[in-house]
Amino acid sequence: MEPSQSPNTLNAPILIEVCANSVESALAAQAGGAARVELCSALLEGGLTPSPAAIELARERLHLKLHVLIRPRGGDFCYDDTEFAVMKRDIAFCRHAGADGVVIGILTPDGSVDVARMRELVDAARPMAVTFHRAFDMAADAFHALDEVIALGVERLLTSGQRGSAMEGRDLIAELVRRSTGRLSVMPGAGINEGNILELIAATGAREFHLSGQKKVASRMVYRNPHVFMGVPGLPEYETGVTDAQKIRHVVDAANSSRGGASQNQSPAAARELGERRGNQGR
């Protein structure tokens, strides 16, 4: 379990968590200065539990905090008994593999937090840290759901403010930060980048932020059969999204630039580069 603290304080550095869809993305997040990785797979489905091999390899190669998404399928967050059993086994695997935390969320059919099942998962996860993920954004009553999540004793809540992006949901996020009173960290996610991170910091008061920071990488395939789709027809099959270390570095530097001087993950050269980029943006 991570140390108890008041995470939404003005004196704390801004922490950047990267949603990494592969070991390659996780390593890029580390190279870019992220403080923590949330490892997942299948981001086109909103993120699913990564493979055991990916978890183990990420743990071997990362020196930063590693959290793992526990989500057995795409779609809603109301799970049957078999899916719940899978989640418990995945959590046990993560604990034995040395993960620092898990990212979970379950709702009832009426859009409330499934407190009984969540409590069972939280207990199974300890001593790892626990984040309640964006299932929160599908809850019927945001403030009631916040109270339920806080009562579970989890370390943080990942949310877009029940909108398509954190920018759209920033007013609700700010109110969630205010109501949480340091009992957990409210971590905005969805659509965050170098261009809006400072506005989100100012608008919400949050001190942790979640993003993927991806770039598109073309397939190495030369022959491409235009008549067959292995996934959803219409979605690109010959490119993948991979976290871009430079994008992460730019967000880390921008987020902490208002604190004076270089951030804890920022080199003097990076600080100079950030200043030059801002000067060019103003022209």
Residue 137 tokens read as: 């954004």
pLDDT 10s per residue in the chain (283 long)?
Answer: 554 334 445 567 899 999 999 999 999 999 999 999 999 999 999 999 999 999 999 999 999 999 999 999 999 999 999 999 999 999 999 999 999 999 999 999 999 999 999 999 999 999 999 999 999 999 999 999 999 999 999 999 999 999 999 999 999 999 999 999 999 999 999 999 999 999 999 999 999 999 999 999 999 999 999 888 888 887 888 999 999 999 999 999 999 986 643 343 443 334 444 444 444 433 3
Report pLDDT for 12: 72
Phi, psi at residue 48, to the nearest 5°? -130, 170
Task: Give Cα separations from 145 to 135, 182, 265 (angstroms).
Answer: 10, 16, 34
Report pLDDT for 175: 98
Q: How do the domains of the chain map onto residue ranges?
A: 15-221+231-281
- Architecture of the domain spanning 15-221+231-281: Alpha-Beta Barrel (3.20)
